[in-house]
Amino acid sequence: MKKNNKKFLSGGLGQLTIPLIAIALLFIFNLIRDPGFFSIGISHNNDGNAVLAGNLISIINGASELAVLAMGMTLVTAACGGQDISVGAAAAIAGSVFVKVLKSGSGISGGTVLLAFVAACIVAMLFGTFNGVLVAVFKIQPMIATLILYTCGRSIAYWINGGATPTVSSHIITAIGSFIPGIPIPTPVLIVALVAILFKLLFHFTSLELFTQSVGINGSAARLNGINSTFIKLLSFIILGVCVAVAGTIGVSRLSLINHETLLLDVEMDTILAVAIGGNSLGGGKFKISGSIIGAYVIQMLTTTLYAMKVSSTDVKAYKAIVIVLLVVIGSPVVKQRFGKLLERISSKKKITVKGAEE
């Protein structure tokens, strides 16, 4: 009992407790409200494929871009103790590059799509490097450093396609944005899983996790242990760049067009929120990528629930804010500590009574 309490308080499994409880509560709430809310059915889409359909699927699907960005943001947050607020704008740039390359050839083959994606990745990594250099080399506050790209990113995206919002029609793009024929699970969901696995592999086959946490917790000690903290911070931004390119590609593929004004608009704040709901400290240090993914699903589930309750889209933000305030307060160290003390008292009381019984 005591061991569990300790774990609960000191991270580990405990970090995920609150986001998991949040998801469970939303789940239960929806089930009571509408027992059929989570029923998953099989329907046929326009191409005649049998695909999974239902609220749950659309929630998981809808959170894909957010989840991918949140994973990268977790790393930046951990290493730099700050957040990148330019991810939405950078995704618009990456999406624009993606479309630009797709449009440059005569037709769209698998090769062109791959080429376009690689181009989007490179560009997003370059912008990530720009942010990273400002933060890691020039020691500018991450939020200020990324404010630059946040401000001008969508203008750059506008220039790439000459101000137009070109559409791309290709079955490959449709497949990325919705379903691959023969597979009933939405492709963006598969992409999230793939990115998560890649992160897992990255942490397994390198010491990036240990180094990032060391830099985030105690930069001075990390340096004296030979860690190149500038490089670690820069790297976190570059990795986030890849996530941005992936999110941009998913976003473009869903609509088969690029709209530099609206693609992933305001996603940066939701991304940061997902990291926070996931129990990660926004001041850097220890982190859990899985927490941020759950955080992304919490946000999406909340939004979907509110829409399902016929809350108007203007009001949704206000209701969302209420729930988020609750989550963040419950997850705060102060409440955790109080709660921990309470548990301690209960467990110690129990012990005393047990002892008494023995005597």
Residue 225 binds other proteins (CB under 8 A) = yes
Q: Per CB under 8 A, which of residues 282..341 are in contact with other proteins? A: 285-286
What is the C-alpha to C-alpha distance for residues 194 and 222, in angstroms, rounded to an integer? Answer: 31
Q: Which is nearer to other proteins, 317 or 341 (CB)?
A: 341
Q: Which residue has the tokens 């979907």?
A: 304
Single-letter amino acid code for the residue at 42: I
Q: Which is nearer to other proteins, 32 or 334 (CB)?
A: 334
SS3 260: coil
Taking the complex as a whole, the smallest distance from the CB of residue 132 to other proteins amounts, in Å, to 17
**Contacting range for other proteins; rule: CB under 8 A; set: 17-25, 222-230, 313-321, 327-335:** 222-230
Structure-block tokens of residue 335? 């409440």
What is the C-alpha to C-alpha distance for residues 351 and 354, in angstroms, rounded to an integer? Answer: 5
Residue 16 binds other proteins (CB under 8 A) = no
Q: Which is nearer to other proteins, 231 or 307 (CB)?
A: 231
Q: Indicate which single residue of 228, 255, 262, 282 sits in contact with other proteins (rule: CB under 8 A).
A: 228
Count Cβ atoms within 10 A of the Cβ of residue 353 and give its class: 0-12 exposed, 13-18 middle, 19 or more buried: exposed
What is the C-alpha to C-alpha distance for residues 268 and 302, in angstroms, rounded to an integer? Answer: 17
Q: Indicate which single residue of 15, 131, 214, 280 sits in contact with other proteins (rule: CB under 8 A).
A: 214
Q: Indicate which single residue of 222, 258, 289, 301 sits in contact with other proteins (rule: CB under 8 A).
A: 222
Q: Which is nearer to other proteins, 276 or 298 (CB)?
A: 276
- 252 contacts 95 by C-beta, under 8 angstroms: yes
Q: Per CB under 8 A, which of residues 339..358 are in contact with other proteins? A: 344, 348
| Rg of the chain, C-alpha, whole Å | 22
What is the C-alpha to C-alpha distance for residues 296 and 273, in angstroms, rounded to an integer? Answer: 8
Residues that bind other proteins (CB under 8 A): 2, 5-6, 10-11, 204-208, 210-211, 213-214, 217-218, 220-228, 285-286, 344, 348
